[in-house]
Structure 1
């Protein structure tokens, strides 16, 4: 019987996502998500919010009906717990709107601030 040979993996390890964090960012510390406020209390608040506000607000603006999965902070709280917990600063987004549209808005806002 022929011996099977193993193939070397062609996969490369990915660099840590933490390497991309701006060292001046409030996220740059070695805090866990729970230590930054995203623990059990946040998870309960998030579920309650999504039950009351189930649709993505960005999609709704464009006439689409899409279930939201993320409670987004409209204004970046940057660790400010009062702003973090201000429900007037929360909105529901779907994953694509959060990861693409909202991120692009935040980058544009930061670039405008630099100019």
Structure 2
């Protein structure tokens, strides 16, 4: 098993799995279409700017009673290439980059909405506290 330096400042070494996991991830990113090819070209940039002007605050932080500026327009239901869903502004929400890159991505991968609202109730609608008959 090969070793890779983690960070220069601590010079720790960590094993690299022999199955090519890191190579596979690099290859996956190389095969990915450009943002313009995926629909995020000039038209999207203009729509995004307009939406952020109308909805300047992060929706996730807002649900927690916090005020944080939004920088990303996110598709609530992932469009997965569906043009109609992509351009449906009712399927958009404003998020800060942190929420989009961490919370939203984790939600899409796991299906679990982590966190609580102001009253301490879990945001995940499938959490047992949110069920009618528990």
**TM-score with structure 2 length normalisation?**
0.61
**Higher strand share goes to which structure?**
2
C-alpha separation in 2, matches of 1:70 and 1:18: 24
- Aligned-pair distance for 1:109? 2.0
Find the aligned partners of 2:24 and 2:45 in 1 and give their Cα distance.
23
Q: Secondary structure at 1:105's aligned position in 2?
A: helix
Specify which of 97, 105, 109 is matched with residue 103 of structure 1: 105
Residue from 19, 22, 26 that aligns with 1:19: 26
Alignment of 1:18-97 (within 5 A): 19=26, 21=28, 30-97=32-99
TM-score by length of 1: 0.70
Unaligned runs of 5+ in 2: 1-7, 9-21, 113-134
Greater RCO, CA 8 A, separation 6+ = 1
Note closer, same or farther for the CA distance 1:30–1:61 as it changes in structure 2 (3 Å cut).
closer
Aligned mates of 1:59, 1:20 — CA distance in 2: 35
Structural RMSD (CA): 2.6
Name structure 1 gaps, 5 residues minimum.
1-9, 22-26, 111-115
Aligned residues: 92
Deviations 1:34-67 (A, max 9, x none): 1111000000000000000000000001110000
- State the 1:18 CA deviation: 5.7
Moved over 4 A (4+): 15-18, 27-30
